[in-house]
Structure 1
Amino acid sequence: MPRTTRLILCPVNLRHLKVDYNAYEEAVEMAQRRGAKLIIATVAPEIERNMNIYNSDVYWGDELNKFVAAHPAEGVDMELIVRKGAVHRQIVKLADERNVDLIVMESANPKVQDYLLGTTASHVVTHAECSVYVVRS
């Protein structure tokens, strides 16, 4: 019997959206097909390197709103969340806190340092309690 998917988490890296947002498109399509709610989350650094960003919650919240407005998800109930901290930890923590059924996220092509240090996607796949769908960019 197939599992019911009620809640999908899609983390987006707003710093690299000009390059790719395939995981977002995939998550929207999955949410539409399954009638699931979609959480779109971005993780801001604890300390901003950009001195022009005075309040990262507000700044990244505005950027997330702009992104979703530019890429609407017809018929999908959405929630937008900004977190601070280490990206890989915050994704897993948010998924656990909200009892997410599925995480849909990007993964860049592997590089040598990825095998030595690990990527965000590999950490999430290893530590998340729910299923993780990784979209190659």
Structure 2
Amino acid sequence: MTKSILCAVDISQTSSEEEVLKTAAKLAELDGASLDIVTVVPNFGMNLVGTYFDENFQKQAVKEAKERLHEMVTSVLGAKWDEKVRHIVAAGSIYEEILQLADQTNADLIVIGAHKPDLKDYLLGPNSARVVRHSTCSVYVVREN
């Protein structure tokens, strides 16, 4: 039985992430599981990159991402779901942050979307493939049509 689900979405791809959110909500509802929804923004404070940005840029990016995450959840699942899920905005490498959060929240299941692979993805591996490969819990991959 699943007790805790971590759903990873890309807030810049709202239309393609709708099915990911809906699937995670259905799975949470089936088992009465808690649902955490995460999006990951780049870490603008990194040494090389950080010199090009204002010191408050990272905080502003996280704040805006959290607002967009709330908007996304409300528009796709409704206000009722927006109130009962936990919204998480992480900063850093996408797959590393998802895996770390899954461990920290004791997630039983990660729900993540996957786009149709490009040739470069076969060589480098997309984030969803890395999450599947390295996760210590089950991963449900929602494929794009």
TM-score normalised by structure 2 residue count: 0.83
* Partner SS for 2:5: strand
Identity over aligned pairs, percent: 33
In the TM superposition, residue 68 of structure 1 has moved relative to its aligned partner by 1.4
Name stretches of at least 5 consecutive residues in structure 2 with no aligned partner. none
TM-score normalised by structure 1 residue count: 0.88
In the TM superposition, residue 25 of structure 1 has moved relative to its aligned partner by 0.7
The residue type paired with residue 126 of structure 1 is R
Question: Could you tell me how far apart the structure 2 residues matched to 1:89 and 1:117 are?
Answer: 15
1:32 equivalenced with 2:37 (yes/no): no
In the TM superposition, residue 36 of structure 1 has moved relative to its aligned partner by 0.5
Say how many residue pairs are matched: 133
Name stretches of at least 5 consecutive residues in structure 1 with no aligned partner. none
Contact 1:23 1:104 in 2 (8 A): yes
1:67 equivalenced with 2:72 (yes/no): yes
Per-residue CA distance 1:73-110 (angstroms, 9 max, x = gap): 55784111000001011000100111100001100111
**Deviation beyond 6 Å, 4+ runs, structure 1:** none
The residue type paired with residue 60 of structure 1 is A
1:115 equivalenced with 2:122 (yes/no): yes
- Larger % of helix: which? 2
Question: Could you tell me how far apart the structure 2 residues matched to 1:116 and 1:68 are?
Answer: 33
Structure 1 counterpart of 2:140: 133
Contact 1:106 1:134 in 2 (8 A): yes
Alpha-carbon RMSD:
2.2
Of 78, 84, 101 in structure 2, the residue corresponding to residue 94 of structure 1 is 101
Structure 2 counterpart of 1:14: 11
115-124 or 54-63, which moves further after superposition?
A: 54-63
